[in-house]
Amino acid sequence: MIRIEVLTLFPELFAGFTSSSLIKRAQQRALLDLNFSNIRDFAAPPHQQVDDTPYGGGAGMLMKPEPLAAAIENAKSRLPTAKTILLSPAGRLFNQSVAEELCPVQQLILVCGRYEGVDQRVIDLLIDEEISIGDYVLMGGEVPAMVVIEAVLRLKTEVLGNCESIKDESFAPTATGERLLEAPQYTRPPEFRGLAVPPVLLSGNHKEIKDWRLAQARIATQKKRPDLL
């Protein structure tokens, strides 16, 4: 069971995500306990302000430290062994290896920033690691948090079980230690708009199919992602 607490100013953005089958199934199987806190609930009345202008000037607003720190500390009190992650364009790049690294963690606190960013002192005091899902800037960390949750949970719920990656899939290590894209895949019908399924896949010869898939995976990787080789 992994316990995940998401801290956000926009919990409603997760409504569709939490009703998706992957999340629902994981909760039903007691593999996941997913909760949300609205950072605004930790801001002082009457205005419940969560943003403020940056010292030194500059465009936009920052998340002010007090409500964010209070929200993180509240989550930590309920998840005392949690790893606390800020989704940020300045973070370590997320990939399948990072997902595998997070998979065995029992408690996660995912902090979603908004505006132009977060007061550095909150990061220094309360964040264990910053993670980025890619080199682009978004309005907030909510979509990155969903990406991290889905990638980690998918590993937990694989048929192989706990945090085991399927050997043949994209970016999973092969027997030879290569990280390859998937070979092309086909389902019925055997011919579609004049294009036939490669006959080897219909041959029933498992050794030949395995060799073909490895060769095709190398070709696909060379063509589409030569940086992986």
* Residue 137 binds to ligand 4G4 (criterion: CB under 6 A): yes
Binding of ligand 4G4 at residue 22 (CB under 6 A)? no
Tokens at 75, concatenated: 């989550």
Q: Taking CA 38 as the corner, what is the angle to CA 6 and CA 20, rounded to the nearest 5 degrees?
A: 50
Q: Of 133, 149, 181, 183, which one interacts with ligand 4G4 (CB under 6 A)?
A: 133
Q: From CA 185, how far away is CA 89, in angstroms rounded?
A: 34
DSSP string, 140-181: -SHHHHHHHHHHHHHHHHSTT-TTPPPTTSTTSB-TTS-B-P
State the Cα–Cα distance between residues 76 and 3, nearest whole angstrom. 12
Nearer to ligand 4G4, 34 or 111 (CB): 111
Residue closer to ligand 4G4 (CB basis): 126 or 180: 126
196 touches ligand 4G4 (CB under 6 A): no
Is residue 118 part of the contact set for ligand 4G4 (CB under 6 A)?
A: yes
Applying CB under 6 A, which of residues 68, 87, 152, 217 lies at the interface with ligand 4G4? 87
The contact set with ligand 4G4 (CB under 6 A) reads 87-89, 113, 116-118, 132-134, 136-138, 140-141, 144
